Amino acid sequence: MLRTTVLRSSTMQSMHRPPIALLLGRASTTVFQPLATRNVSSTIARRAALSTAAKEAGKPAASRNQETQNEKHDALTTPTAASTVPTMVRGDWVLFHPVYSSEELKSVEVLHQAPKNLADKVAAGLVKLARAGFDLVSGYKHKPLPPDYKQWPIQKLRDEGYILDDKAWLLRILFLESIAGVPGMVAATLRHLQSLRLMRRDSGWIHTCLEEAENERMHLMTFMTLRKPSLPFRALILGAQGVFYNLFFLSYIVSPKTCHRFVGYLEEEAVYTYTKCIKDLEDGLIPEWTNMPAPEISIDYWRLPQDAKMIDVIYAVRSDETTHRFVNHSLANLNPSNDVNPFALREPDMHTKGKQIAFERDEAEAYVQESHKLLGKK
């Protein structure tokens, strides 16, 4: 599993400083470009202005007008005395997210965290209630396939409610992903405000929550390339998101542990859903997606091969949901007021996250200590 990197090119070669390097599995390479002094920048500006004026004096008026129009159309990439255009821009435009090997993609198992107390039972019950309600509204019957389903025509399986067609799958995924991006942002917002209010560090929770929120949003952006929702569907999303955001916001203030457990159970359902989607694809029950190329945004985001198909996208999304399942169930086992986020510096690979439901508190502590040893800290 790879940590994504960012590299910014410096246009002032003589003034760049060496990069700040590696934090365990989270490789972050940055080249810093210090600001020029006022005298240097003003001298450069004067020379540039004089040079430009000299060139302009020898050009016909029509040519000067044409170049002026071109600069207006390309103002963001036209160098001026006040700004410079980078000679090279490489790297990610998103926060950290895992990039999985082919072995990791296949190592995911459908797991369940047994409730430990009343709060866990409430969280699990709410997720089951939410799923049942959504299945009822969307018409999803969740019927087990008959033993000889491979001999049945696909349309007959769809008509009798055994499987979904590609449009039904997309609507289901779009709705779920539009809601799934809410909890991470709520948790990050509240912990950010708490850190400001109490004037103390957050122990690494905020960034992990933000990564989760953006990762879920990128799932939505990926599937949005396949279908643009209708206005009624967008209205449904608007209402559901507003209600869920406020309920989760108030709930997180009362009990962060229960909220992380709730998200862990929610991600269990997501892993189950995408596992079923993969099974249907491999059985040829969604022929519309069999040879469909992966959207360009997914190839860039998950570093997929250029010839990747939709099934490769579903595998990557399922692995992301497995990561969220593991992280949230692990955070629910910690004390949110004092414990350090064990995933602030690095994360286990999918061979761990895919086969283990969570870290217990003592396992999380040992993982943090191991991270410190790898960093050379005490």
Tell me if 216 is assigned to a ligand binding site: yes
Q: Please name the residues in contact with 1: beta carbons below 8 A apart, sequence gap of 6 or more.
A: 25, 98, 99, 100, 101, 104, 347, 349, 350
Instruction: In whole angstroms, give the CA distance from residue 164 to residue 154.
Output: 10
- Residue 2, beta-bridge partner list: 99
pLDDT in tens, 129-154: 999 888 887 777 778 888 999 899 99
- Report which residue type is found at 189: T
The confidence score (pLDDT) of residue 87 equals 54
pLDDT of residue 43: 43
Q: Which two tokens stand for residue 221?
A: 């952006």
CB 122 within 8 A of CB 251: no
| Contact in structure between 164 and 142 (CB atoms under 8 Å) | no
What is the reported pLDDT for 26? Answer: 39
Exposure of 23 by Cβ count < 10 A (0-12 exposed, 13-18 middle, 19+ buried)?
middle
The amino acid occupying position 321 is E
Q: Which domains does the chain have, with CATH numbers?
A: 1-93 (no CATH), 102-375 (1.20.1260.140)
Alpha-carbon gap, residue 290 to 286, rounded angstroms: 7
pLDDT for res 307: 94
Number of H helices, E strands in the chain: 15, 2
Helix (H, G, I), strand (E, B) or coil at 23: strand
Q: Mean pLDDT per 10-residue run, the chain (378 residues)? A: 38 37 37 36 45 54 54 50 50 71 91 95 95 81 86 92 91 92 97 95 94 95 92 92 96 97 97 94 95 94 94 96 97 94 90 94 93 79
Answer yes or no: is 67 a known binding residue: no
DSSP at 205? H
Contacts for 196 with CB less than 8 Å, ≥ 6 apart? none
Q: What is the pLDDT of residue 41?
A: 41
Q: How far apart are CA 327 and CA 343, in angstroms?
A: 8
Q: How far apart are CA 169 and CA 134, in angstroms?
A: 13
Q: What three-state secondary structure class fits 186?
A: helix
Number of other CB atoms surrounding residue 171 within 10 Å: 17
| Residue 177 annotated in ligand binding | yes
Q: Are 16 and 32 within 8 A, CB to CB? A: yes
260 is in an annotated binding site: no
List CB contacts of 229: < 8 A, sequence separation 6 or more. 171, 174, 237
pLDDT at 58: 57
Question: Is 211 known as a binding-site position?
Answer: no
**Rounded-to-integer distance, Cα 184 and Cα 214, Å:** 8
Q: What is the pLDDT of residue 376?
A: 79
Q: Report whether 219 belongs to an annotated binding site.
A: yes
Largest separation between any pair of C-alpha atoms in the chain: 84
